[in-house]
């Protein structure tokens, strides 16, 4: 795993932006795996600004999102589909038909998972963007999710409900279940770019880099990917910056 330490959040998203822009400009047909949450918001802002100022085009780009709350339709302002349109898709020239995400309002969850597995299998992702859950989740693959899993419905961990409750005002309003891309599918991306910012991610970052590869900390699987870049800011890296190099097993 390659680790890049940025000075702060702005520097982190700038570095991530350069990698994503490089992927799109070197291949106009690039397939991007995208993430939601707080961390990539300013990255998407940079992509929008760059599109407007420099004309970087997404006309032929395809995107696949990681996850969606079960029960929320795409027009619900708290859905990840809505988040993606608001923060990125409505502000660049991407064809909405080329943006894929699980349908949170699907009638039949099994069929929805199968549908997403099929579209995912049709397009190899050039890069997969990831955030890091404070409990080590990637997408909504909570601790003890199988490393060979595909798209499935997951019951969200209590800590995840708490972490994401800021979006819903009250933890009791956070949907208890979600669709998520499986770890096997995340690992199938040619390149992975994982971002973590802030002191509250410092323990998870340390575990990601120094811990054992185990399903009890799903992000640890990334140690096995052949082209994974982790970008952290100094706050998120505060528990690894003092470690002797031999303890940083994954670097
Ligand atoms: C959320 C989402 C993930 C996201 C991660 C980190 O629960 N399901 O897709 O990457 O947790 O979120 P944040 O960037 O807000 O810390």
Residue nearest to atom 10 of ligand 1 (CA): 131
**Residue 88 CB neighbour total at 10 angstroms:** 22
Q: In what order do the strands lie in the sheet with 152-155?
A: 67-69, 177-180, 152-155
Do 206 and 239 contact (CB within 8 A), yes or no?
yes
What letter would DSSP give residue 155? E
Residue 93 CB contacts under 8 Å (≥ 6 apart), including other chains: 51, 57, 58, 59
Whether 142 is a known active-site residue: answer yes
Residue 140: per-residue pLDDT: 98
Do 80 and 101 contact (CB within 8 A), yes or no?
yes
Atom number, ligand 1, closest to the C-alpha of residue 164: 7
Whether 67 is a known active-site residue: answer yes
Residue nearest to atom 1 of ligand 1 (CA): 37
> pLDDT 10s digit of each residue in the chain, 251 long?
999 999 999 999 999 999 999 999 999 999 999 999 999 999 999 999 999 999 999 999 999 999 999 999 999 999 999 999 999 999 999 999 999 999 999 999 999 999 999 999 999 999 999 999 999 999 999 999 999 999 999 999 999 999 999 989 999 999 999 999 999 999 999 999 999 999 999 999 999 999 999 999 999 999 999 999 999 999 999 999 776 655 554 45
């Amino acid at each position: 795993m390659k680790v890049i330490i940025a000075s702060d959040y702005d520097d982190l998203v700038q570095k991530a932006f350069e990698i994503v822009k490089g992927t799109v400009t070197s291949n106009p047909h690039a397939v991007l795996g995208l993430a939601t949450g707080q961390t990539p918001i300013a990255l998407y802002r940079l992509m929008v600004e760059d599109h407007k100022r420099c004309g970087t085009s997404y006309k032929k780009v395809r995107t696949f999102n990681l996850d969606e709350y079960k029960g929320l339709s795409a027009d619900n302002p708290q859905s990840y589909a809505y988040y993606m349109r608001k923060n990125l898709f409505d502000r660049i020239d991407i064809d909405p038909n080329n943006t894929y995400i699980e349908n949170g309002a699907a009638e039949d969850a099994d069929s929805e998972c199968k549908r997403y597995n099929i579209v995912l299998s049709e397009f190899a992702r050039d890069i997969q963007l990831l955030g890091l859950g404070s409990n080590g989740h990637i997408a909504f693959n909570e601790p003890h999710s199988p490393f060979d899993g595909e798209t499935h419905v997951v019951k969200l961990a209590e800590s995840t409900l708490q972490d994401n409750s800021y979006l819903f005002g009250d933890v009791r309003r956070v949907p208890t279940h979600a669709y998520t891309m499986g770890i096997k599918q995340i690992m199938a991306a040619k390149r992975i770019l994982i971002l973590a910012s802030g002191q509250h991610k410092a323990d998870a970052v340390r575990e990601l880099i120094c811990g054992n590869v185990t399903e009890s900390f799903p992000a640890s699987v990334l140690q096995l990917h052949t082209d994974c870049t982790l970008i952290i800011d100094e706050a998120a890296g505060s528990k690894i910056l003092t470690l002797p190099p031999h303890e940083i097993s994954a670097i």
